[in-house]
Every structure is written in C-alpha cells, then in structure tokens.
Structure 1
Amino acid sequence: MHMTPFRMIFKSYVQRNKEQLITVANGQGVPICDFGNISLESSIVLKDVLHVPQLANNLISVQKLTKDLNCLVTFFSTHCVF
C-alpha cells in the first residue's frame, strides 16, 4: 500500500469508519486516518493511498504501482523511471 502523512496532497479523500493500525519499522502500531487518491504529475494517479499522519515521509509500494499502472520501474542512483 502507498502511504503519506500529508493530508493536503490528496486529490480525493474517503473517511474510514473504523480505526486500523499499521506496524512501522520500530514495531509500533500507528493509526491509519483515511485513504484516497493522489496525483503524481498530470497523468499518474496513485489509488487507495493511506493517510498515516505519524509517518515522516511518503511511502510508495513499487509492487502496487507496477500492478495498478501495468508498468515497469527502473531505479538509478538519483531517480527512477516508470
């Protein structure tokens, strides 16, 4: 799943009816607030992105990205291309 702490970058937003936790790297459970879609560039939309305010950065699931967009991702030392 894609995740972000930044509410303001959502293009659409759906509130969750129940509280759910995700486990982060230190083993702590942090709450998922809601979810929605986020636009990258003008033609790329990340769907069902979880809003997790306690995260420090955006997290993109490469597996979900390649499946949803039916694409290949190539990583370089400074950037990636998909």
Structure 2
Amino acid sequence: MANDTLLLLALAHIIGDDALRERFLALTGFDGATLRARAGEPDVLQAVAAFLAGHEPDLVAVAAALGVEPGALCARS
C-alpha cells in the first residue's frame, strides 16, 4: 500500500475517534474544513505521521486498526 494512502486511512481513523480527533486538531491547528479540503496534501499527511510518531500508544492502536506495522505510519516517502 502506498504510504500516502496509508496515511489517509490513518487520518480517517483519527477523525473517526473522538479523543484522537480532538487531540489531532488541537496539536496541528487544523480544523474540519481544512482537513476536508486538503486531506491528501503533503503537509497534512506529514502532520498525521508526526502526530502518530509523537505518541506511541496511538501509533500502535492506529496501526493495529489498519492491520499494518507501526513503522509504516511514521515514514513519509
């Protein structure tokens, strides 16, 4: 699976979880409208990777939900 696609799936998972969504929005400064408009852009995908890399329990949980290794969510190609 392409890394950008994987990070988009991770973003969808984050947005679908109330606690993760609120923390992601607070830490990144993005809002819902911005994410809808720019979800696939490099800076948003980098923010997803950095968000997950910054908190291992979230990284592991999202990776498990997506069925991938945690390291796959931290690297941007």
Q: Same fold (TM over 0.5)?
A: no
Higher-Rg structure is 1
Q: Which has the higher strand share?
A: 1
Q: Which has the higher helix share?
A: 2
Q: Which has the higher contact order (CA 8 A, sep 6+)?
A: 2
Q: TM-score, normalised by structure 1?
A: 0.29
